Structure 1
Amino acid sequence: MKTRIKELRKERKLSQEELALAVGTTRQTITSLEVEKYTASLQLAYKIANYFGLSIEEVFDFSEVE
């Protein structure tokens, strides 16, 4: 699943570790999300979107989800 996490994180000058700590996950999970190797749970997607002050749809692209 495509995401804007890396773009949003870099705009705010956050490391993967800082974002992970802020949303209660690991740096490895953030890395996996950014390279599209992992799909976030609804709870994690909400936390990430909320952290950036955006809706889930503004962070995650659901157009290719079957």
Structure 2
Amino acid sequence: MRLLIDENISWRLKRSLPQWDILPANEIISTSKITNTTIWQYAKTNNYTILTFDEDFCGIAQSQ
């Protein structure tokens, strides 16, 4: 499974599930603040499932 974990999910999850392809959102680009749209587009382009607590992604999903 390929998971892109949002900033509100601990990167430590990556160590807990080493058999999964887990990418923390802050590793996508080197900026201090990454937008939800950037996370969405990266996940869509690279076949990741987004894991988040952020409800804003529901709005992005409905507009796509």
TM-score per shorter chain, which class? 0.3 to 0.5
TM-score by length of 1: 0.32
| Larger radius of gyration between Structure 1 and Structure 2 | 2
Greater helix fraction, Structure 1 or Structure 2: 1
* TM-score, normalization by structure 2: 0.32
